[in-house]
Structure 1
């Protein structure tokens, strides 16, 4: 019996490859099974990340450190610098303001006036001497010297010849405002004096200083046995103010039966105030 011819061994069958999904790219095919004598078609090797790109010390310098947070480092230095500049500018503005308003003793518009130590002898009230010739032996006087204000004050008792008691009073005061302009307050006080005090008449006076006001009151109604007469002339010249006031009070016990009229008194105030302002200039 003859031996049938041997068939050459057949090559092992390769497992069918996994069909590709229409949406799966070729480089992402799953790996082929191993263990067969003849491997199937090789898949491309997966791409590996560059180990030098992310780890320091392999030829690439480490990433630069992050800058300082806001408000530190250079930013803080600049903030301090600008704060110092701002303080310097503010100080300069403050100094300029003081200079313009007379805060350093400069800029005060005093017009050359002085406040004497004794205004009783430094002021002129000669217009009243004919009516009241007797001298006051002990007048009241005082002064104030301050970087903000120089002030001199005098109060006199006026007596007629033969009078045992005071027949009238005369007061004078000069103020040199060295720090602030007294203009607005002066105007508010004297221009509106009749509004804040009843029974007083106020009228502006021209030709004396920058502004002047005459304030008067007469409650005697022509009688010399009761009532009073009062007059004040207030003057502002620059930052210097001057007031001169007259007052007389009548009663049945007074020896003065013929006091001066209010018109006469206001005329004397104007004359003597002009003369005094000239004398007070250095």
Structure 2
């Protein structure tokens, strides 16, 4: 019986104060053309939940805008995150999102990738025991002048290639944070 009181999830990972030190995201960096700024945003420790986050930002090669890659690791120590996992984050529930979620096999206990026809970023969520890993890629455009409605939007990397890169980087972060 693993020694866990009833209802408490197994936590097989540890968070760090500098999540960017473990989340280098080389596959996403390569797919996106590199990061300009990496910023360990915040983290906290609590008897019920430890968490940390990291932002990587960069500019698109054509100068039309930029992107942000955000990683958040949550270690739920008192309640199992499984029953609510598919509902997404509090932010996405409060503000809504138009993501279509699909299962991704072979990573953690449950992995979902969300993509949208409206926005061309992606969200990858992984649950493994009491740990929830969230990776989000967002693109933004620079609009110095009023946008020309006839102008084509800047090209984005292939969504399937971005998903594969996000999965690879998620797997690497999970390995780096795994407790022995």
TM-score normalised according to structure 2 size: 0.79
Distance in 2, Cα, partners of 1:247 & 1:115: 24
| Alignment match, 1:247 | 138
Larger radius of gyration: 1
| Alignment match, 2:159 | 262
Shift of residue 161, structure 1, vs aligned partner: 5.3
| Alignment match, 2:117 | 218
Distance in 2, Cα, partners of 1:150 & 1:168: 27
TM-score normalised according to structure 1 size: 0.52
| Alignment match, 2:122 | 231
- Size of the alignment, in residue pairs? 165
Task: Write the deviation string for residues 255-281 of structure 1: whole angstroms up to 9, x where unpaired.
Answer: x94331222211111111111111111
Q: Which structure's residues are more often strand, by fraction?
A: 2
Shift of residue 150, structure 1, vs aligned partner: 0.5
Stretches of structure 2 that go unaligned for 5 or more consecutive residues are: 148-152
Task: Write the deviation string for residues 219-259 of structure 1: whole angstroms up to 9, x where unpaired.
Answer: 3xxxxxxxx412001010011110111011335659x9433
Match of 2:33 among 114, 129, 132: 132
Stretches of structure 1 that go unaligned for 5 or more consecutive residues are: 1-97, 103-107, 220-227
Shift of residue 212, structure 1, vs aligned partner: 0.8
Distance in 2, Cα, partners of 1:182 & 1:134: 31
Distance in 2, Cα, partners of 1:260 & 1:189: 25
Match of 1:178 among 73, 77, 81: 77
| Alignment match, 1:18 | none
What's the Cα RMSD here? 2.8
Q: Which structure exhibits the higher relative contact order, with contacts defined as CA atoms closer than 8 Å and separated by 6 or more residues?
A: 2
